[in-house]
Amino acid sequence: MKLAGARIEPFLRAPDPSMRAVLVFGPDLGLVRERVQRLMQAVVKDTSDPFRVAELSPAALKAEPSCLADEAAALALGGGRRVVVLRDAGDGQSAALAAFLAHPMGEALVVIEGGELGPRSSLRKLFEGADNAAALACYGDEGGSLAAVIGDELKAAGLMAEPDAMAYLIQHLGGDRRLTRTELGKLALYMGEPGRVSLIDATACIGDTAALGLDDLALTTADGDHAGAQRVLDRLLREGVHPVGMLRAVARHFLRLHLAAGHLAQGKSVDQAMAALKPPVIFKAAERFRRQLSRWPADRLGKALEVLTEAEADCKTTGMPAAEITSRALMMIARAAARR
């Protein structure tokens, strides 16, 4: 069974007892970990209790395929339902999990933590098609969902972002839920007390941390520096940033260029067009943004956005390596910029 939309939150709060196992997977590893933890806590309040929580690895399951059924059937000392967690799962564990779902033992909830699994993944297909299991995909926060995460996190610290500050935070966060929460925690610490977060506060705390690498990638790509863009992309991959997050960051930059180009077409000056953007262009990147506006007419910006949108769709649907798809798309755009 697929879990999506409005069904996710109720399930995380109280997992359906008929679902014996849940696969949590996707490119947003921070969100994957967060949802795995929530599922565990829905069954066991103290997830450090060794009598009610068992953790398995793919290596342990390969060495002893029966260990999953054994742990699921085990009774907790002192009573209560147990949780069995399998970390770092992939298609190599599909057969063992299929055997368990065919004849589930005990009453424990089995939670499977996976990474990015394409539509052709045997593990993903198994859970999406099972009547007694659920598959929960975790993609990076964006748009309304990202605004809600930011708003809730700030509210918990007694803070509220002004409109410009919220727009800036939405632009510079997302892609990894854990990183988003970490950066907002830094912002709360920076503020020191409850109050309103201004754009100056947001840029002072977050501008040079969470999005620095992604900003570099977007700017170098739009500059036409394909060698520099490839170096930044490689560094981000080593740091664990997901390719879809990179594509979205570059797309946001090109969308802002497209909006500014639209203001130019209406007769505004370059400075007026840049000032009309919300949030405004950061001072240190203003000159590069100005040069990029002269390099990229509106029609070519539209084509670049199409390339980025198609690349994100390919990452999610084709089963091809997302890093290679992203690299090809960004290099194509950077070379187009270099040709003026």
Any idea where the domains of the chain sit in the sequence? 2-137, 143-206, 212-313+322-338
Q: Which residue, 198, 202, 234, is CA-closest to 216? A: 234
Mean pLDDT for 134-149 is 82
Q: What is the pTM of this model?
A: 0.60
Mean pLDDT for 105-124 is 91
**Residue written as tokens 């395929």?**
65
Three-point CA angle 259, 262, 264, nearest 5°: 115
Question: Per-residue confidence at 175, pLDDT binned at 50, 70, 90?
Answer: low
CATH number, domain 143-206, options 1.10.8, 3.30.530, 1.10.760, 1.10.287: 1.10.8
Residue 144 has pLDDT above 80, yes or no: no
- 102 to 12, 18, 58, 132, 280: CA distances (angstroms): 24, 13, 19, 9, 56
Helix axes 199-206, 163-172, angle to 10 degrees: 20
> What pLDDT is attached to residue 210?
46
Q: Please say whether the beta carbons of 190 and 159 come within 8 A.
A: no
Q: Which residue, 110, 45, 35, 36, is CA-closest to 74? A: 110
Task: Please give the residue that has the higher pLDDT: either 279 or 6.
Answer: 6
Q: Which residue, 139, 168, 140, 166, is CA-closest to 152? A: 166
- The percentage of residues in the chain with a pLDDT greater than 90, rounded to a whole number, is 58
Mean pLDDT for 8-36 is 92
* Tens digit of each residue's pLDDT (9 = 90 or more) over 321-340: 899 999 999 999 999 887 75
Tokens representing residue 218 in the block: 């977007």
CATH numeric code, 212-313+322-338: 1.20.272.10
Residue 212 has pLDDT above 80, yes or no: no
> What pLDDT is attached to residue 307?
96
DSSP 139: -
Domain 2-137 has CATH 3.40.50.300: yes
What value does the mean pLDDT of the chain take? 89
> What pLDDT is attached to residue 340?
59
Question: Per-residue confidence at 245, pLDDT binned at 50, 70, 90?
Answer: confident
- The percentage of residues in the chain with a pLDDT greater than 70, rounded to a whole number, is 96
**Domain 143-206 identical in fold to domain 212-313+322-338:** no
Q: What is the 3-state secondary structure (H, E, C) of 209-274?
A: CCCHHHHHHHHHHHHCCHHHHHHHHHHHHHCCCCHHHHHHHHHHHHHHHHHHHHHHHCCCCHHHHH
* Tens digit of each residue's pLDDT (9 = 90 or more) over 84-104: 999 989 999 999 999 999 999
Calpha distance 264→53 (Å, rounded): 60
* Tens digit of each residue's pLDDT (9 = 90 or more) over 219-233: 999 999 988 899 889
